[in-house]
Structure 1
Amino acid sequence: MAQRYPGAGPIRKKRRTKRKLAGAAVVATIFALLLLGDAPLYLISDHYAGVGASQRITLGDGSRIELNSRTAVALRFSGAERRILLLEGEAWFDVAPDASRPFVVEAAGGTVTALGTAFDASLDRNAAQVVVGQQSVAIASGGRSVLVEEGQQSAYATGAAARAPTEADLDRVSAWRRGQLMFENETLGEVVDALGRYRRGLVYFVNPALRARRVTGVFRIDDPLAALRQIEISLGLHAVYLTKYMIIIKEYNWIFFRSRPPLCTGDHVFQSGGAFRHSVETGMRQWRAEWFRASAEWGQRRDRGGDRDHRSGGAGLTRPRRHFRRAARRRGADLPDSARRHVQSAQRRGR
């Protein structure tokens, strides 16, 4: 059969090929940035801890440095001072005393001078935070100097003066040295960003308002994907794993639980006030058990010949799901408005 427009077929085929090649090039570029994005830091630093790794360093003067994941430092030692550039990430410094050679950490355009001390310094974009574990440090930034004592913290941005010292939670700040991350009433966006230090990839929120949800908990840093799954379950969210490097987070359309606790930890979910503790694993086992009970109930009804039961939730749904929703309504679970309207419409059709 002759073509209606001679020559159109090959042209369209070439265009489709070009689009596919362009899409493949974009995907390849994204993965290259994810996998090779830290290469410049590795080249300009003296010590570098990769993604998901940590590193302990003992300097020639006896001082010790512990690098967190995705952290890079450069050494600038001289006869007059011991200067370290914090290029990226977070590090714990345990300084050997030497009055003739001050120990100085440079980050975000400011300096932190150790006065015979141990402290934590972190760099996030153009801002630095310092938490003192022992004795004190002097922070110089924006033309001003601030003295931070033991158990206190301060922060500053590039070109700005350091904030006044405040009390710090040393246990939470140093949790990464024990292989944990601790959060207390932090936003979901901040938690996801913190977990991103220990894994490669991107996390995209379909609804940006989800980033404002609050999370309190303790998670292990050796498996950040497991931490994301626990948060997903406890907050009633749904994560779509395109790959382990690209994750999309959205809300569930159906929630069958009677109540959903607002706060979570790596091992447990807490109700407000922390008085009641409910295991996530136990809750999921109960959810699966109810689903299987609904499936078994439908199988029994089918064997008895009672296959059509319009009261069970609507002809447009699969049988196990209809029985599952009926069980949810029986125990007083709230369904979304759209689901309730769908069920009521199906019931009217059944009558």
Structure 2
Amino acid sequence: MKDIPPQDPHWNSAMEWLLWLQESPDDEELRAACRAWQQASPGHARAWRRAERVWRLSGQLPVTSQGRWPGARRRRAVLIGSALAACLALLMVLLPWHGHGELDNDKGAPRQWVLEDGSRVWLLGGSSIRPRFDADHRHLELLQGEAFFEVTPDASRPFIVQAGDSRVEVTGTAFSVALRGPALSVAVEHGSVRVKDPRRDTLLKGGERLRLDGRDGRCVRDRVPPARVAAWRRGELIAEDQPIGELLEQLRPHYPGWILLQDPALADERVTGLYALQDPQAALEALVQPHGGHVESWSPYLLVIRR
């Protein structure tokens, strides 16, 4: 199932505002706060217009009908969930189909491919790559999301992954590349890679990670246990004193719908543990329960986290 592209960082926020307004259609303060959020940046305004358009086009719950809803809160939740399920189905039609030999993985379980040179690639849910191989080069472009590569050695044909403005060059190694908006992360399980961007040229070896922020050029180089590199391939989410909000972003690609966090303060709470990604709802419950949170399933495509 296709989802809103991760390069739109405001989509989830727009949907949260839309849900809150549907729950409290007569709350003028909430409406004023939503207008202020839309006016805060052009990106907010675009995300809001898109959310409204998809909501209306679903044909399930026109915004103009909100005043006629039943009063029971749970009934509203069920109706919202049904409308969102319809919206998700509609997005498969609205979003463009790229073609051109790309490999795509919709949100949900990771997928694996064997490339023509014998190299293997795993794609996280919501990720896509564009391979272009010829007699002299093995070139792949990471369009979005995260991929793990296990490269067959071939010194005569460099293996190059392009991600935004950065290039990752290898001959034979295993590593992951994640591209989320302007943020790039490269982590090496074994072997070595060279990461080149307009500002620097960095050699990474097994157990090293490089994180780049394309907005301000900030670069962080640190170590990561090789077993933790792309642990999602094994269905594992490993947390080591990390904020729930950060882990939630890592978990979202494994759930085929939306996950909304209604208590922003919960995102800052920190947890440590090993969580199974095969059941994203159970993993969410385990993440938030120690801090008083709980997960409500409003439909097969919507989980809401409350506290």
Q: TM-score range by the shorter chain?
A: 0.5 to 0.7
> Is the partner of 1:122 in helix, strand or coil?
strand
Instruction: Decide whether the 8 Å contact of 2:190 with 2:226 is kept in 1.
Output: no
Q: 2: distance between equivalents of 1:79 and 1:211?
A: 48
Partner amino acid, structure 2, of 1:71:
S
**Is the contact between residue 52 and residue 222 of structure 1 (CA under 8 Å) also seen in structure 2?**
no
Deviation (angstroms), 1:150: 1.7
Aligned to 2:172: 116
Q: Match of 2:229, SS?
A: helix
* Structure 2 partner of 1:69: 125
Aligned-residue offset at 1:19: 2.6
Paired residues of 1:127 and 1:155 also in contact (CA < 8 A): yes
Does structure 1 residue 233 correspond to structure 2 residue 278? no
Code of the residue aligned with 1:57 in structure 2: it is: W
SS at match of 1:165: strand
TM-aligned CA deviation for residue 171 of structure 1: 1.7
Letter of the 1:20 partner, please give it. S
In the alignment, what sits opposite 2:273?
Answer: 217
Aligned residue number for residue 48 of structure 1: 104
d(CA) in 2 for partners of 1:80 and 1:185?
A: 45
Question: Aligned runs of 1:282-301 on 2, under 5 Å?
Answer: none
Tell whether the 8 Å contact from 2:285 to 2:293 is kept in structure 1 after alignment: no
Q: CA deviation at 1:162?
A: 7.5
Q: What is the RMSD computed on CA atoms of the aligned residues?
A: 3.0
Q: Which has the higher contact order (CA 8 A, sep 6+)?
A: 2
2:160 counterpart SS class:
strand
Superposition pairs for residues 72-87 of structure 1, below 5 Å? 72-87=128-143
Give the TM-score normalised by the residue count of structure 1. 0.59
- The residue correspondences of 1:248-327 to structure 2 (distance < 5 A) are 248-251=304-307
- Structure 2 spans left out of the alignment, 5+ residues: 1-61, 70-79
Q: Equivalents in 2 of 1:41, 1:93: separation in Å?
A: 24
Paired residues in the alignment total: 235
Task: Please point out which of 203, 211, 214 is paired with 1:147.
Answer: 203
Amino acid paired to 1:217: G
Following TM superposition, by how much is the alpha carbon of 1:146 offset from its aligned partner in structure 2, in angstroms?
A: 0.8
Secondary structure, in 3 states, of the residue corresponding to 2:230? Answer: helix
Distance 2:218 2:155 in 1: 24
The whole-number CA distance in structure 1 between the counterparts of 2:172 and 2:260 is: 44
For structure 1, the residue ranges without an aligned partner over 5 or more in a row are 1-16, 252-351
What letter is aligned with 2:234?
R
| Change in 2 beyond 3 A, CA 1:100/1:22 | farther
Quick check: 1:196 aligned with 2:252? yes
CA distance in structure 1 between the aligned counterparts of 2:301 and 2:187, rounded to whole angstroms: 32
Q: How far did residue 75 of structure 1 move? A: 0.8
Residue identity matched to 1:83: H
| % identical equivalent positions | 32
CA offsets per residue over residues 88-117 of structure 1, 9 Å max, x none? 222111112222221100112211001421
Quote how far apart the aligned CAs of 1:82 are.
0.8
Q: Within 1, Cα distance between the matches of 2:108 and 2:306? A: 26
User: Which residue is 1:34 aligned to?
Assistant: 88
Displacement of 1:195: 1.4
- Residue 144 of structure 1: CA displacement? 2.0
Q: What is the Cα deviation at residue 219 of structure 1?
A: 1.2
Deviations 1:224-279 (A, max 9, x none): 0111222343322233332243333332xxxxxxxxxxxxxxxxxxxxxxxxxxxx
